[in-house]
Amino acid sequence: MRDRNRTRAGLIAGINITPLTDVVLVLLVIFMIATPLLIRSEIKVNLPRTAAADAASQKNIVVTIDSAGNVYLDGARVALAQLAPTLSATLGKRPNAPVIIMGDRDVRYDLVVRVLEIARTSGVNKLSLAVEVKK
């Protein structure tokens, strides 16, 4: 009996998936390299430096304060007076999400303290300050 996959010339009739696998792995590597670049904040902030810090994950709520004193919640500009209700609404969608405050190193200290106070009164359980690791 002859094998059903073989033709008369002895060739195997089938699909070679090796090129497909190569393309998928190359795309995987490209996305692994590009994703951290896309996650970084689009608002330019000079973070203070420290010797060690933990990395942030995508599930965090990020409050950014730029050098001009503008406040952003997850990349969207928010007035300081509207930060509490907006942050509370965001916490309603992600109840246990940690909040990271990214304050520019040139911003006034009292503004950072006010944002910390607003975050605490909004019901934030996990709160941290973003810093840049010294090299």
- The proportion of the chain whose per-residue pLDDT surpasses 90, expressed as a percent, equals 9
State pLDDT tens for residues 74-93. Answer: 888 999 888 889 888 888 88
Q: Is the pLDDT of residue 26 over 90?
A: yes
Please check whether residue 120 is in contact with residue 127, taking contact to mean a CB–CB distance below 8 angstroms: yes
pLDDT band (50, 70, 90) for residue 22: very high
C-alpha to C-alpha distance for 85 and 102, rounded to whole angstroms: 19
Per-residue confidence (pLDDT) for residue 57, from 0 to 100: 47
- List domains and CATH numbers for the chain: 49-133 (3.30.420.270)
DSSP structure string for 1-22: ---TTB-TTS-B-----HHHHH
The whole model's pTM is what?
0.56
Per-residue confidence (pLDDT) for residue 40, from 0 to 100: 57
Q: Is the pLDDT of residue 5 over 90?
A: no
